[in-house]
Amino acid sequence: MTLAKDYASVMGRSNDIQKDALGLDYAEFETSPIAFDYEKLMTSTGYTLEEVNRIQSQYGVGNTPLLEARNITKLARKYAKPGYGARIFIKDEAANASGSFKDRRAACAVYHAKKLGYKGVMAATSGNYGAAVASQAAMQGLKCIIVQECYDSKGVGQPEIVEKARKCEALGAEVVQLTVGPELFYSFLSILEDTGYFNASLYSPFGIAGIDTLGYEIVQQCREKLGKDPDMVVCTTAGGGMVTGTARGVRKAGCDAEIVAASIDLSGLSMASDVDFNKKSCTTGHTGFGVPYATDPDHSDVPRSAARPLRYLDRYVTITQGEVMYMTEMLAQLEGIERGPAGQTALAAAFSLAQELPEEAILVVSETEYTGAGKHVQPQLYFAKQNGIDVRIGDPKEEVPGKSVVLPSSPSLFKYKEADVDRFRASLIKKAVKKAGAKPTESDLEFLAEETKKDVEFVKNVLEENGLL
């Protein structure tokens, strides 16, 4: 029997397609229309931290260097009050096989796919994850397809995304490039169904379990090199996997470091807008992904996302595109480390955050990423100018997403903005209850408290204020 392949039919079969493509029945973890057993989902992988580390080390992943940014620390102290300016360290994830922390996710996902007997793997991503999955598929002998949202309706692609497509193809993957819009998930599901490949989703428990080793390594390396735990770990956040997995690993190491998520402020731009698509001068690590995925993690390519940042983060800060571009150059010219822009989101925030911590404090930026032709600052700024963006030097506070990119005229102008995490938490609670269309039970309230790292009283107050209890 030939299945209908129109949009409505394919989307209507979404749950069945994903079940077949993951070898995982999410219904086993559901406890109500609102709640599910998150820890049971995470342990369903069957892989311990030690097992994940073994898998990763077998395929060129993990045990990456922890580098001290001595000159950047020195510069931060120049603008801090006496006795302040934490030591800044960078976890150099560019040392992984394909050049980013995403290898940690991919190694576990591809290993599991092969273990279950799948002939190939797929991922829907415009970012580094595509290269990571392609790299691991090549190493482990599986076929690979990457579905990528790349162009606007005029066929114009962003240099950073085009660069990532080139790398995926170089690693042997087939790349399906699409214009921005709802066809991404439809096309992904349709090809999954046709090929019978494994869904190496960014948001599966296999993928997130792979990042636990990153947080664990950070703590262990700090103890070995410095004789103490980190005081703060800053993670670039988009879909929430980095901050979720890193925090889980940090906690598994018995460390209570403050976990800070950082995004580029792109408020006012719609990620689903054809008009806005090429007005973003940074394609990942921004609020267009960070906020929606924090407040509604399950709008991903799996029924229940294992990336749930509000369970773990302590703070959420934002930084500007201009500050990130400047920091990318600063890292290269002060530390001799040329890396791509995504990790510089966290480093730009860390430069400002470090000035508020005492000199003996340890601040770790959780990642770097590889760089390439389309990832460099110059092609990204040139592309911005081509799209009518005003690129200039001045005060980053004057930057308007989609209209300008303002490079700081002085490092003294770096300053993160504190986001209202409780507002994000309230948003998650409201969305979860409205989506379920059911009055929450006591166990639902406890689940929502865990989801938001708050207590049941906070959840009740949010629901009462919005007439949902």
Averaged pLDDT, groups of 10, the chain, 469 residues long: 85 88 92 96 93 96 98 98 98 97 96 96 92 97 95 88 92 94 86 95 92 98 98 96 97 98 94 86 86 93 93 98 97 96 91 98 96 89 94 97 97 98 98 93 97 98 94
Which pLDDT score is estimated for 281? 80
**How far apart (Å, rounded) are the C-alpha atoms in residues 82 and 358?**
9
Print the SS3 string covering 8-28. Answer: HHHHHCHHHHHHHHHCCCHHH
Which pLDDT score is estimated for 150? 87
Instruction: Tally Cβ neighbours within 10 Å of residue 74.
Output: 12
**How far apart (Å, rounded) are the C-alpha atoms in residues 296 and 281?**
25
Which pLDDT score is estimated for 1? 58
The class level of CATH for 7-54+100-205 reads alpha beta
CB of 198 within 8 A of CB of 206? no
Beta-bridged to residue 233, according to DSSP, are: 259, 364
Which pLDDT score is estimated for 341? 83
Which pLDDT score is estimated for 238? 93
Which pLDDT score is estimated for 390? 97
Q: Tokens for 312, please give them.
A: 């773990």
Q: State whether residue 144 is helix, strand or coil.
A: strand
The class level of CATH for 60-97+209-418 reads alpha beta
pLDDT tens digits, one per residue of 304-314 = 999 999 999 99
pTM of this structure? 0.96
Q: Tokens for 116, please give them.
A: 């279950």
**Residue 157 DSSP symbol:** B
Which pLDDT score is estimated for 183? 82
